[in-house]
Structure formats: C-alpha cells, structure tokens
Amino acid sequence: MITFVTSNRHKFEEVSAIFNDAGIELSWEQMKYEEIQADTTEEVSRNSCIKLIGQIHGDFFIEDTGLFIDSLKGFPGVYSSYVQKTIGNDGIIRLLKDRPDNAMFKTVLTAYINGTIKQFTGILEGSIASDERGEGGFGYDPVFIPSGYGKTLSEMDLTEKNRVSHRFRAVKGLVESLARNDH
C-alpha cells in the first residue's frame, strides 16, 4: 500500500487505473502541497517530496509534470501550472503562431519508500495543435498531439491516454519497482 499525494483528481484517476491493473493498493491524499520552485522538474519534484516527509503516514509519492515546447526553449516547463492558469491553452497556441510546434510532456515522480527517495521519469513527445480539440483529460491535453497520433490527448479516453502517456511511463517504473520489492 502506497499513498499518492496530489490535489489533482485527474492525475489520481489515471494513476489509480495503472495500480489497479498491477494489483497494487493505492490510497489518495488529496492535498495541495507547497511546490518548491527550482530550474528543473527533477529538482521541483524531489524538493517537494522531501518537504512532505513526516507529514504523510507510510510510503508515499508525488509527481510533477511539465510541458516543454522546443521553439520556446522549453517554456513553460517548471512554470506549466502558472502558465495554464494565466494564458492557458489559447495563449500557448497564440505564442506558437508561425513557430515550430514540437513539444514534450515530462513527469518526474518522486517516491519515499522505506525511508529512501527514488525518482522515476516518463516522457511523451509530440506537438502542439493549432486549436483546442476534445473533451477528455485536463490541463494541456486539448492542445497536445502525441507523435504518431492524429489526435490530441483530450480526444483519447483514459485507457488510451494511459497507454502512451508521460505519467504512465513514470508510474510504470514505480509499479515495477514495487513489484520487485527492490527498495
């Protein structure tokens, strides 16, 4: 049994489906924790996890996700949450007008298991759509088209998103580690 600390219900639903398939018990601590700002997603994720030690009962993990757009030199990256709340998907589309649209999602999951910190990363390459499409998912999903797919993450259902996503790839690392009991 391990606890996922996140305020985001969509993240929990995606991760919960992966744990369910693996037959590992997952609990949800729905709280907004202090995100410790840093230059990389790895550091933000690690620092935020360390801050939570002593506040969460038993083994737990958090994850920090960012959208990195090549032609904007990786922006919004560690500012993804602020940018989503301010200029939003529409603002991203306008920023990208006439620029190449290659982008990636990166999820860095940091787990605190048996007193040890472990990180797992998942990347999804893709591009930014020229308009918002689809109803599913959350955040940047309506404007993100995974490489090799003709549709946005919002046009996929949860099962389909979970087959390709950055979050799935990071969580897979954790689930495999838990199954091997190698910590």
Which residues are the active-site residues? Answer: 64
Cα–Cα distance, 75 to 62 (Å, whole number): 22
**Residues 131 to 150 in contact with ligand ITT, rule: CB under 6 A:** 137-141
Residues whose CB falls within 8 Å of the CB of residue 148, separated by 6 or more in sequence, listed in order? none
**Which residue number places its CB atom closest to ligand ITT?**
139
User: Mask 161-180, x = binds ligand ITT (CB under 6 A)?
Assistant: ------x-------------
Closest CA to 105 of 62, 68, 132, 148: 68
Task: Tell me the two tokens of residue 163.
Answer: 């087959």
Cα–Cα distance, 54 to 70 (Å, whole number): 38
Where does this chain touch ligand ITT (CB under 6 A) — which range of 6-14, 17-25, 128-136, 175-183?
A: 6-14
Nearer to ligand ITT, 13 or 179 (CB): 13
Contacting positions for ligand ITT (CB under 6 A): 6-8, 11, 32, 64-65, 80-81, 84, 137-141, 153, 167
